[in-house]
């Protein structure tokens, strides 16, 4: 069994996904993790859900909106939390636990915090009026060849001074 440190070291953001379906057993393990008691260190309850777009129409998938940052993904992990002290930290803690769980199963992920249509994902998850959807992540198998935009984002992330005249570059994705 792989250690959590090994999983953390192996994890990279994946923005281009293959059409290979996730096996039922792996999908169930992810669902079990998402449906477990998700409370962070500050005690806030975090809701995590999997949205499967496999049967969705192409136009419907586009309306969910990842604004071209993600291609080929059919499954998404969506997070929601009620506002309050430590809520975002708890969400980050629980969401990262799910991301690392998927990585441990050999799947790719990519935190999205500002490059997705929040309202569309919130509707899919039946978010209540007092909840927010701060982050989502596609989940699936990485395509062998990265898209041009992904290669560019990766280059900017690994060399933050390129094109920013010596200032740190700010990306909305981790």
Q: Where are the domains of the chain?
A: 4-156
**Where are the extended beta strands (E) located within the chain?**
46-52, 75-82, 108-109, 131-132, 136-140
**What's the pLDDT at 33?**
94
> What's residue 2's pLDDT?
82
Considering the domain 4-156 in this protein, what is its CATH number?
3.40.109.10
pLDDT in tens, 136-173: 999 999 998 655 555 565 556 566 554 444 433 333 43
Give me the helix-helix angle, 87-104 and 24-35, nearest 10°.
160
Q: Measure the CA–CA gap between 83 and 132, rounded to whole angstroms.
A: 7
Residue 54 has pLDDT above 90, yes or no: no
pLDDT over 70 percentage in the chain: 75
Instruction: State the CB neighbour count (10 A cutoff) for residue 38.
Output: 21
Q: Is 30 left (phi over 0), alpha (psi -120 to 50) or beta?
A: alpha
Is the confidence at residue 111, as pLDDT, over 50? Answer: yes
Q: Determine what percent of the chain is predicted with pLDDT higher than 90.
A: 59
Q: CA 130, CA 146: separation in Å to the nearest integer?
A: 38
Q: Span 85-89, mean pLDDT?
A: 97
Which has more confidence, 11 or 166?
11
Q: Which residue has the tokens 């496999």?
A: 54
- pLDDT (tens digit per residue) in 16-48: 999 999 999 999 999 999 999 899 999 999 999
């Amino acid at each position: 069994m792989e250690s959590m440190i090994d999983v953390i070291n192996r994890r990279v953001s994946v923005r281009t996904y293959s059409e290979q379906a996730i096996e039922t057993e792996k999908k169930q393990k992810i669902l079990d993790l998402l449906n477990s008691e998700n409370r962070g260190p500050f005690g806030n309850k975090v809701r995590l859900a999997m949205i499967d777009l496999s049967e969705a129409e192409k136009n419907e998938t586009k309306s969910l909106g990842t604004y071209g940052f993600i291609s080929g993904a059919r499954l998404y992990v969506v997070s929601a939390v009620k506002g309050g002290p430590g809520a975002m930290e708890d969400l980050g803690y629980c969401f990262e636990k799910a991301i690392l769980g998927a990585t441990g199963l050999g799947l790719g992920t990519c935190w999205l915090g500002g490059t997705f249509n929040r309202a569309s994902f919130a509707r899919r998850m039946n978010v209540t009026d007092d909840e927010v959807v701060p982050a989502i992540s596609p989940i699936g198998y990485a395509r062998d060849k990265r898209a041009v935009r992904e290669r560019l984002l990766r280059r900017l992330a690994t060399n933050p001074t390129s094109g920013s005249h010596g200032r740190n570059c700010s990306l909305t994705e981790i």
